[in-house]
Amino acid sequence: MPRVTSAVRPRVSTTQAAPSLSPVVGVLHTGGEFGVVALRDVEPGEVLMTIEGERVGKPSRTSVQVSERDHIDVPAAWTFEEVLARAPWRFLNHACAPTAWVRGREVVALRRMARFDAVTFDYTTTEAAMATPFVCRCGACGGREIRGFLHLEADEQRRRLPHLAPWLRARVEGPSPRVRGSRGG
């Protein structure tokens, strides 16, 4: 039985004001760089955090793509403390052999993690084209340039299928897969 009737207005304002602190992950600043770490043992499949923020129409250095046209970014009005508390996803680093993946708005553990293990995901599984490409220092790839899914070779795109965002999946599985602009030879 629903307890809330039209006569009783739910008090949503206090809930919205409360920071969505994650008990599972924390933001770590070390060696001049930010990163996200697990705060306790994590099992594969656990939801580590949700991607909350402002929906914007084009990618930025910090945004995460959540649909063909939409990207989530941290609202400019948020203080740094608010970003730390409400958007730890903002500090997720890229890795070519990541420990998590993005499923819708959720960041989900890919493998077992221990306390203080780095939480990372493969940016090329959500970003069609990075706003700011960079040279990867994940240690697993030998320093490749990360430019986004559309810049990957066809076999690399297929390899990402199990944890690929749905709008990028269509690019691989569709009847007319996108042909890369670069010419061989």
Distance from C-alpha of 84 to C-alpha of 119, rounded to nearest angstrom: 15
Q: Is 96 in the site for Zn ion (CB under 5 A)?
A: yes
Distance from C-alpha of 75 to C-alpha of 55, rounded to nearest angstrom: 9
The residue among 39 and 141 lying less far from Zn ion, judged by its C-beta, is 141
Minimal distance in Å, beta carbon 32 to Zn ion?
Answer: 19
Residue from 110, 136, 152, 164 touching Zn ion (CB under 5 A): that is: 136
**Contacts of residue 7, Cβ cutoff 8 Å, sequence gap at least 6:** none
Q: Which stretch binds Zn ion (CB under 5 A): 83-91, 121-129, 131-139, 171-179?
A: 131-139
The residue among 47 and 96 lying less far from Zn ion, judged by its C-beta, is 96
Q: Which DSSP string corresponds to 127-163?
A: -SS-SS-EE--SSSSSS-EE--GGGS-HHHHHHTGGG
Minimal distance in Å, beta carbon 82 to Zn ion?
Answer: 30
Q: Which residues bind Zn ion (CB under 5 A)?
A: 96, 136, 138, 141
